[in-house]
C-alpha cells in the first residue's frame, strides 16, 4: 500500500514543477496519518492561507466566488485540501472490490464524485448498471 501512496504523492510533486510553496503543503500530507493529524499540520504557523490557497488552485479547488470573496477560512481550507489529497489515494470499489485510483487531472472525469470525501467513483460494470438504471428511473419520473 505504501508504494501506491508514495507514487500518488510523487506524481503530484513532479507536476508542481518549481513551486516550493505548493510542494511544501503536499509534502506535509501523510497518507498514513489521520485526517485530523494532517489538518493540524496544515493549520500550523508553518503554512499561511496564501500557501494553502496556492495548493488548492493547483488541485483544482475553487478558493473564491465570482465576486472574488474567499470561500474558506484557513481551517476549512486545510480540511478541504486533506480530503482532496485523500481522494487521490487508492480506494477499493464497494461494488466489485477492485482497487482503483482517480488521478489528479484525469483524462476522463468520473461520472460521480462524493460530495463528502471528493473521491471519484470507480467505473466498473456494476457501477454502470446502477447508474444506467438510476438515470432511467429518474428520467421516467421527470416525464410523468
Per DSSP, helices labelled H in the chain are 2-16, 20-28, 35-42, 49-58, 74-87, 125-142
Q: Residue 97: CA atoms inside 13 Å, Cβ hemisphere, count?
A: 0
Quick: pLDDT tens for 4-52.
Answer: 777 888 888 888 878 999 999 999 999 999 999 999 999 999 999 999 9
Euclidean distance between CA atoms 30 and 41, whole angstroms: 9
Quick: pLDDT tens for 49-86.
Answer: 999 999 999 988 899 999 999 999 999 999 999 998 98
pTM: 0.73
Identify any residues that bridge with 120 across adjacent strands, giving them in sequence order.
113
Amino acid at each position: 500500500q505504501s508504494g501506491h501512496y508514495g507514487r500518488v504523492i510523487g506524481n503530484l510533486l513532479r507536476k508542481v514543477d518549481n513551486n516550493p510553496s505548493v510542494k511544501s503543503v503536499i509534502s506535509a500530507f501523510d497518507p498514513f496519518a489521520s485526517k485530523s493529524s494532517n489538518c493540524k499540520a496544515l493549520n500550523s504557523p508553518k503554512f499561511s492561507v496564501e500557501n494553502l490557497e496556492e495548493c488548492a488552485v493547483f488541485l483544482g479547488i475553487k478558493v473564491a466566488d465570482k465576486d472574488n470573496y474567499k470561500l474558506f477560512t484557513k481551517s476549512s481550507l486545510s480540511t478541504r485540501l486533506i480530503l482532496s489529497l485523500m481522494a487521490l489515494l487508492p480506494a477499493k470499489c464497494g461494488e466489485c472490490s477492485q482497487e482503483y485510483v482517480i488521478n489528479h487531472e484525469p483524462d476522463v472525469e468520473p461520472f460521480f464524485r462524493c460530495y463528502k470525501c471528493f473521491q471519484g467513483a470507480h467505473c466498473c460494470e456494476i457501477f454502470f448498471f446502477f447508474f444506467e438504471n438510476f438515470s432511467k428511473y429518474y428520467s421516467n419520473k421527470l416525464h410523468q
